Structure 1
């Protein structure tokens, strides 16, 4: 029996595209959800006016059950004129809250008005970060003002993105920047206030019928995030499948690359080893002429701090007689011991090398050229103090030639000068230092 064949990812993407189109079509054509808030059900009405703050305006109920009131607005020096009605959200006489943020806009049903110029709506939001349920003034006043004539058939549409928060309240309660935007997730009350520049001495009737919250069943963010997530999964599976096939095809190539890489590393290590050996004298373990030349090039090219660079050339006095008298084994041991003794007294900035036979060179970087003769004499004295014990003690001495590099001077010129000083030391009787 054959196993059922799974649909390929191209078919899955086609179905997903059709489903996405259908969902978006339903989303934008489906009826919107509505919640109706009416007085005395969840809304407890109360009146307010500037007479409570020493003004002359007044608001009083004409019909409390029908939430109909009259507003008499009068100017009084030092007090802004206002009057209106507030509606607190309560369930069983207990102050509660309602989430308006799940809706896109609201319809406010209001009638009466007469000469009222503008209407201001405050929607209060409670947030424990800055307010308490008991203190209405501490709750954020999300505010919108509109002309009364904007009412059509006693109804006006207000989008929640039209609301702002008054600067006076932000400053009074010292609200941090991350909380200054309008909020609607914890609404405790809203109020309707007659406002504007036109004052009226005769009472004006206002009647509030209901507030209708309108929005989509699913928020636009949630819808698009869900669609995006599904497509990410589909494309992720598709990409994973492509990566897996690519991986299978590249396993052999990867192993080959790994082998070649390891082989290249091996060759590099061997190359480094031979390069190091080519720069080191096999007998004494110090630099040979090639290694010393590389060091000199680096020091001379990097000379930028005004330091002095000295060159010391020395060789062993009467070394041929030592070889003839005691043999080349003894001569080799003397060369090794001399290199070890001199290396111990040199600084890290000094470079010692065997130039050839019994001749050695030292490159010395110093703060002052006055130290060069001291370094040369220190080398000469430490060599003279060394003894090789055979049947008798063998004391060896060296002759030393020293010179300082001039600015931008080549190594060859400095070496000739130091080598000439070395031969001068030998001519003067050996076992001495001569500066050129």
Structure 2
């Protein structure tokens, strides 16, 4: 890849990564939402009251134009009376993973006492603690709320009631909220409810979440930039090494050309011996050696009748005579 192509690709990739980052951050709140609706048309429903504990509360269900209506006649003959509607998601232990959602909206209306308190359960099946044939062994993940809270409830507020941990003698590791395999969802009135008639109309229960969590999105974006950075560094190093090799090669070629020019400037092209320029440099060296008291030997040669050879036999023969003379002198 040429330097120009690398610069163009680098600009494109940096703009691409920046665009993906900005688009992801801007669209996270509006375009990455998901929801799951639980309503009477999708799942069967049951009524649970304290009558299973010999309490006097009576509950019933009937369809309404908006969904389902829970009618409760509370009697406080049991210490902790309750009246609830249960949406049965699964009876086989294969429920819904609601852990990928972060909040829930309960679309409901209520008639009865002032300032009621409601309780909301997500019951989870796990082979580690659930007992076949005992629905109560499914972990209770509980949240108590008032009517104004129903429009938005953060799932982070759920907790596991102590009575369930104590009743099944579960270790502390099972005290954490677990909604990875929800087999039922329950909504109703609890122990703080006054005696009398209460009506709860439920349209739907909507779980809200993100297609991808903020943490995972952050990891993906960081990973994207890390990959780009690694690519940039690797390509930059490769190009730098290539340019270094190219410069070294050019330097070698330049040095070779300088040496060749130096030889041409100081050497006779016909015979290969030193020319006047090189001889002058040598004489300068001789002057320095003489000043140092060194002994210098200089031999001068004169070829007799050389002009006659050129005139009679031609310059080609004269050149051969010069070449042979220099060769003989160098070998002596």
Give the TM-score taking structure 2 as reference length.
0.63
User: 2:181 — aligned with what?
Assistant: 186
**Residues 2-401 of structure 1: pairs in structure 2 closer than 5 A:** 5-6=5-6, 7=8, 9=10, 12-30=13-31, 32-41=33-42, 43-63=43-63, 66-76=67-77, 79-90=79-90, 96-115=94-113, 117-132=116-131, 134-148=133-147, 150=148, 156-200=151-195, 202-240=196-234
Give the secondary-structure state (helix, strand or coil) at the position aligned to 1:193.
strand
Unaligned runs of 5+ in 2: 245-332
- Displacement of 1:40: 3.7
Superposition CA RMSD, Å: 3.3
Unaligned runs of 5+ in 1: 251-436
- Displacement of 1:217: 2.3
Q: Specify which structure has the higher proportion of strand.
A: 1
- Displacement of 1:194: 0.6
Give the secondary-structure state (helix, strand or coil) at the position aligned to 1:87.
strand
Distance in 1 of aligned mates of 2:243 and 2:164 = 67
The number of aligned residues is 241
- Displacement of 1:124: 0.6
Give the secondary-structure state (helix, strand or coil) at the position aligned to 1:175.
coil
Give the secondary-structure state (helix, strand or coil) at the position aligned to 2:51.
helix
CA displacement 1:223-259 (0-9 Å, x = unmatched): 1121121112122233445666899999xxxxxxxxx
Distance in 2 of aligned mates of 1:245 and 1:174 = 66
Give the TM-score taking structure 1 as reference length.
0.49
- Displacement of 1:190: 0.9
Structure 1 contact 126–133 (Cα < 8 Å) conserved:
no
CA distance 1:21–1:3, shift in 2 (3 Å): closer
Distance in 2 of aligned mates of 1:113 and 1:128 = 39
- Displacement of 1:122: 0.5
Distance in 2 of aligned mates of 1:129 and 1:247 = 59
Q: Specify which structure has the higher proportion of helix.
A: 2
Distance in 1 of aligned mates of 2:94 and 2:33 = 25
